[in-house]
Chain A
Amino acid sequence: MDSTIAALLTQDGLTNGAIYCMIALALVLVFAVTRVIFVPQGEFVAFSALTLAAFEQNKLPGTVWLLLALGAVAALVDAGSLWREPRRLVRTWLGTSAPCVAAALLVWLVASAQLPFFVQVLTTIAAVTAMGPAVYRLAFQPIANATVLTLLIVSVAVHFVLTGLGLLFFGAEGVRTQPFTSASFTFGALNISGQSLLVYAFTAFLVIAMAAFFKFTLFGKALRATASNRTGARLVGVSPNFAGSLSVTLAAAIGAVSGLLIGPIATIYYDSGFLIGLKGFVGAIVGGLASYPIAAGGAIFVGLVESFSSFWASAYKEVIVFTLIIPVLLWRSLTTTHHEEE
């Protein structure tokens, strides 16, 4: 291996690592607030790329039906539990079902009017983000106080349901979207595409934005309060349902943007999300599912290991990446004191 190849591999590893990094950040966010290991995070990534690809092919994205289905079921569930309190019911509808229906309408409008690329991108983000509250409402809100294990099992179930719906609405074939920019920059032997620069830029932005959000905004502080003590947060007026819903919605938005960024770099299938999510999870585990900067670093490390192992031992690439988790878990279980779950 010479230095050129090493540089190319590093660049490839950084690009993938940056995507895993966004997933890892979203996973830490959701876990901190709701104690859910959010397996379906990868699905948001895949759905976002698939939605934009459908726009590009002038087809109606399957997202419309997915949104309508989620919205309708959430509306029914809310009606069932809140029919005695019409005013609260309307307010809840406005929070979960209405965004889904509105996003579905928007997607339909944009697809039929064939609006420009920039509008399609924004619509895709809106559509995938709107799934967040509905997913939280349907799957996690009713069992918000269950054990971490129960939440994980439900989370896996949500992953399977969303993958199945993905196959139904998007089909089995993979897509690749148009790059946002075809610019590329040459540094010596290195040729860096504009798209991967965008990926780096957005990841860096996200890390900073999340730090600022949690430190300076009221919502961020409310989320942090819920994360550190649910009961305490509730006593001072932070709704845990709202905090949970907000965190999953943010995760969906991050997923949507990651999907847009990875779409032109990799072929995305309805079920691509799982493996991407799993690698982000390995990164998040390095950070103990608690620390944003360490999770981000861990995810980038996963990307680099993946890239170099695909050069040296391509047949064992996945084995090497996922074996990383064992020393990390050993190290974490030896260095951190164990807390009994409340």
Chain B
Amino acid sequence: MFRKVSALSVALGVGALLLTATASAQLKVGVTVSATGPAASLGIPEKNTFDLLPKTIGGLSVTYIVLDDASDTTRAVTNAKKLISEDQVDVIIGSTTTPNSLAMIDVAADAETPMISMAASARIIAPTNPKTRWIFKTPQNDSLMADAIAVHMKANGVSSIGFIGFNDAYGEGWLQEMRTSAKTAGITIVADEKFNRTDASTTGQVLKLVAANPHAILIAGSGTPAATPHKELVARGYKGKIYQTHGVANSDFLRVMGKDANGALLPAGPMLVYEQLPDSNPIKKVAKEYITAYEAKFGPRSTFGGHAYDAVALLSRAVPEAAKSAKPGSKEFRAALRTALEGVKDVVGVHGVFTMLPGDHNGLDNRGRMMMTVKDGKWMIATK
């Protein structure tokens, strides 16, 4: 009896509080991006995107606290700690790269704060354990993309490939995913090579790849550095198909590649070519809205900014849900937000449609990837 009464009075009290506090209640979103350092070309559009995002979600005013981690793992961890202990954020978005995001998992999970990463590797959210329960990510998993490439290769009669990837977590992750996907599709990897983001020349690696004579070559790099082996392959007169990963889907890659980019194939999120999507595709409308605003203010679109947009799209759905049971700024709210994020269904972002599950904290399906090609310096949907 007493407990019922108190529960009721608490509910009334909270109700009254909500009425007075809706205007002042604040959601704090902590963001760490790699706006400087080697991953700056990915981090800058993400940072820019936060300027365009809604300042209220479900009646709560939102403060984005955006920090730069300089593409450095230690700085990313420091930023995460600072956001949690000093700013007491309700959720962390970041970081840009896989190594940084992996390093932040412990910090976020220990503080029981949900974290939405904008990095690619599936290892950030898998396998599911008490720590990764708190971690979500918006970019397509490498495995989803690797699978798209393998399927496309098989359909085009490719049975042997050469692989050249970044000498870091990105390249390594892709190599593992590609091994799995290639095996399923009956494709053999006949050569695998490494290169660094800063390499001035990749002649050695390319010669070795070409000498192995594969039907196609996959370059696993991100941004303009991935152009170095690609241009070298073209210069060496390699005749097979050249695949890239979604890490290169920006206009700077096309600028550096020039006419050598023609015919390159890659899987990417639909936002890159939203104009070419059919009107029936729900992603088209969302992507158009975001990209129009982005391009008006910051110049050509970048798919990386889209990952930041999608992270907040997830929050827009999950925060009102969580706010029903607790107030922002509390441990309970963060727990409720985690549960709400895990339960979102059919959230349309610019990279696809998200439906999260306890075992899938990415939530994208085949609608989140398309094979594209480059034709006359423009991204086109690959027809076959």
Contact = CB atoms under 8 A, between A and B. Distances in A.
Interface in A2-27: 5, 8-9, 12, 15-16, 19
A167 B252 CA distance: 15
Interface string B38-52: 101101100000000
Interface stretch (B100-108, B196-204, B341-349): B196-204
A315 B194 CA distance: 5
Contacts of B203: 8-9, 12, 307, 310
Interface in A173-187: 173-176
A332 interface: no
Contact of A267 (B43, B205, B207, B228): B228
A174 B200 contact: no
A167 B255 CA distance: 18
Nearest to A270: B40
Contact of A309 (B200, B204, B223): B204
B252 A173 contact: yes
Contacts of B256: 173-176, 267
A271 B201 CA distance: 16
A16 B200 CA distance: 8
A12 B204 contact: yes
B334 to A, nearest CB: 33
A314 B207 contact: no
A119 interface: no
B238 to A, nearest CB: 14
A265 interface: yes
Interface string B168-206: 000000000000000000000000011110111111110
A308 interface: yes
A339 to B, nearest CB: 36
A214 interface: no
Contacts of B41: 172-173
B68 to A, nearest CB: 11
B56 interface: no
A262 interface: yes
A118 B343 CA distance: 62
Interface residues of B, number: 32
Contacts, number: 93
Interface in A87-108: none
A74 B204 CA distance: 45
Chain A residues touching B, majority SS: helix
B90 to A, nearest CB: 30
Interface string A302-342: 00001111111011011000000000000000000000000
A309 B207 CA distance: 12
A12 B199 CA distance: 13
B71 to A, nearest CB: 10
Interface string A281-311: 0000000000000000000000000111111
Contact of B44 (A19, A172, A314): A172
A43 B74 CA distance: 25
A167 B224 contact: no
A173 B41 CA distance: 6
B185 to A, nearest CB: 25
Contact of B205 (A174, A265, A314): A314
Contact of A311 (B37, B204, B224, B255): B204
B208 interface: yes
A276 interface: yes
A22 B224 CA distance: 26
A190 B201 CA distance: 17
B78 interface: no
Contact of B193 (A19, A172, A174, A314): A314
B227 to A, nearest CB: 6
Interface string B196-222: 101111111101100100000000000
Interface string B218-252: 00000111011000000000000000000000001
A272 interface: yes
A267 B201 CA distance: 9
B252 A308 contact: no
A314 B224 contact: no
A276 B200 contact: yes
B198 A275 contact: yes
A163 B207 CA distance: 33
B167 interface: yes
B290 to A, nearest CB: 21
B36 interface: yes
Contact of B196 (A8, A9, A267, A318): A318
A266 B228 contact: yes
Contacts of B201: 12, 15-16, 265-266, 306-307, 310
A122 B167 CA distance: 37
B204 A173 contact: no
A12 B167 CA distance: 20
A266 B37 CA distance: 19
B204 A267 contact: no
B38 A271 contact: yes
A315 B256 CA distance: 25
A310 B200 contact: no
Given A174-B225, A267-B227, A314-B204, A167 B40 contact: yes
A12 B256 CA distance: 20
A173 B36 CA distance: 11
B204 A307 contact: yes
Given A167-B36, A266-B228, A267-B224, A272 B204 contact: no
B200 A262 contact: yes
B44 to A, nearest CB: 6
Contacts of B225: 174, 267
B55 to A, nearest CB: 27
Given A12-B201, A172-B36, 20 more contacts: A5-B207, A164-B36, A173-B41, A173-B224, A173-B256, A174-B223, A174-B225, A174-B227, A265-B200, A267-B227, A271-B37, A307-B203, A308-B204, A310-B204, A310-B205, A314-B194, A317-B194, A317-B199, A317-B204, A318-B196
12 contacts: A15-B201, A172-B36, A172-B40, A173-B224, A266-B228, A271-B38, A307-B204, A311-B207, A311-B208, A314-B193, A314-B194, A317-B194
Rank and list the top 8 A-B pairs by shortest CB-CB distance, nearest first. A310-B204, A172-B40, A311-B204, A266-B200, A12-B203, A174-B224, A173-B252, A315-B194
